Amino acid sequence: MRLFVKILLTYFLILSGHFLYAHEVRPAFLQIQEQSPNSYAILWKVPRTVDKVLNIQPKFENSFTLSETSPPRILEAFVLYSYQLEGEQSIANTKLSIDQLNSTGTDVLVDIQLLNGEHHSFLLRPTQNSILIPETTNKWNVAKTYVILGIEHILMGFDHLLFVLALVIITTGFKTLLKTITAFTLAHSITLSFSALGIANLPGPPVEAVIALSIVFLALEILKIQKGHSSLTSQKPWIVAFAFGLLHGFGFAGALEEIGLPQNEITLALATFNIGVELGQILFVLVVLVLLRLVQAIPPSKEWTKKLVPYAIGSMAVFWLIERISGF
């Protein structure tokens, strides 16, 4: 029975890891900037894959006219559209919706800047694809939006989750686990903040490759520990978690840069995005601990089955490493 459970978990780990990586879709981004009274520049950023662009489009009330100002620009993960929106009234207190959003699995981050200084940030989702644009700024909307984005990013960032999973497997004792996860949190919060604020930055592709390499390293460490060998990772996992966490923070920063930050609420958005990442991470750790407790309650079987999980983690990470290096 234990063998069956481990094989099933490993099989799910590999398949779900490949699926999440291959099909991760970042949020679309709609920027509305008032240039003159009732005249707005629109930037519409739609996620794309190699062979598909999401068929979604912003829709305004009939009193507004939307016209394209330049041809679409195709980027690596997005298509950029530029429009001009003209109306006889302010966009405040009017309805904004995203056509076909309810048939997708992605969200839309909306950022609106008005001439009177009001600034709005909110998230439209497949289950709620329209909103009445408010008159006054609501900081709670900004905070809620970026908490949700942080949670979604960590739960869809399977490489980060695989790293955390390996840390949980390596660490013994609740205090040590708490210290290790705290070190990882502190480290990636530092580099995420530094990068978002323009203090320090690293190029994305090498960072993503080293993140994959960090997971390979932890998979090998798990195998060493299973053989009874002691190492710095097994004795002081928080040091390794902090060191690699600095790199993972730059990975988070790359995703946040693509999402965008509201320019007059950068601190609030950055702080709440960090909070969202940590909430998602805590949720994942709790689920892993419950699963590990269930597996440990099953009577032991053959010794070699213990190697299934680290081999699955390492194999997935090696696949990512090769793929990311080949993309340089």
What is the chain's mean pLDDT, rounded? 84
Confidence of residue 304 (pLDDT cuts 50, 70, 90): low
**Percentage, residues of the chain above pLDDT 70:** 88
Amino acid, single-letter form, for residue 176: T
**What's the pLDDT tens digit per position in 176-228?**
999 999 999 999 999 998 988 888 888 888 899 999 999 999 999 999 988 88
Tokens of 185: 């949190």
The yes-or-no verdict on residue 6 having pLDDT over 60 is: no
CA angle 126, 192, 161 (to 5 degrees): 60
> What is the pLDDT at residue 5?
43
Paired sense of beta strands 95-99 and 130-132, if any:
antiparallel
H and E: helices and strands count for the chain? 9, 9
Stretch(es) of the chain classified as CATH 2.60.40: 28-137
**What's the pLDDT tens digit per position in 65-101?**
999 999 999 887 789 999 999 998 899 899 999 999 9
The yes-or-no verdict on residue 168 having pLDDT over 50 is: yes
Q: In 3-state terms, what secondary structure has residue 61?
A: coil
What does 187-228 look like in DSSP terms, one character per residue? HHHHHHHHHHTTS----HHHHHHHHHHHHHHHHHHHHHHHTT
> What is the pLDDT at residue 64?
94
Q: For residue 98, count other CB atoms closer than 10 A to its CB.
A: 25
What does 278-326 look like in DSSP terms, one character per residue? HHHHHHHHHHHHHHHHHHHTSPP--GGGGGHHHHHHHHHHHHHHHHHHH
For residue 96, count CB atoms less than 10 angstroms from its CB and return exposed for 0-12, middle for 13-18, buried for 19 or more.
Answer: buried
Of 43 and 326, the one with more pLDDT: 43
Which one of 3.30.460, 1.10.12, 3.40.50, 2.60.40 gives the CATH number of domain 28-137?
A: 2.60.40
Cα 44 from Cα 84, distance rounded (Å): 11
Which uninterrupted H or E stretch holds 275?
helix 266-296
Closest CA to 239 of 221, 226, 253, 251: 221
Q: 299-324 as b/e, with b when 16 or more CB fall inside 10 Å? A: eeeeeebebbbbebbbbbbeebbeeb
Residue 316 near residue 13, CB atoms below 8 Å: yes
Least confident of 11-15, 26-30, 146-150, 262-266: 11-15
The yes-or-no verdict on residue 43 having pLDDT over 90 is: yes
Q: In 3-state terms, what secondary structure has residue 68?
A: strand
Which uninterrupted H or E stretch holds 81?
strand 78-87
The yes-or-no verdict on residue 116 having pLDDT over 90 is: no
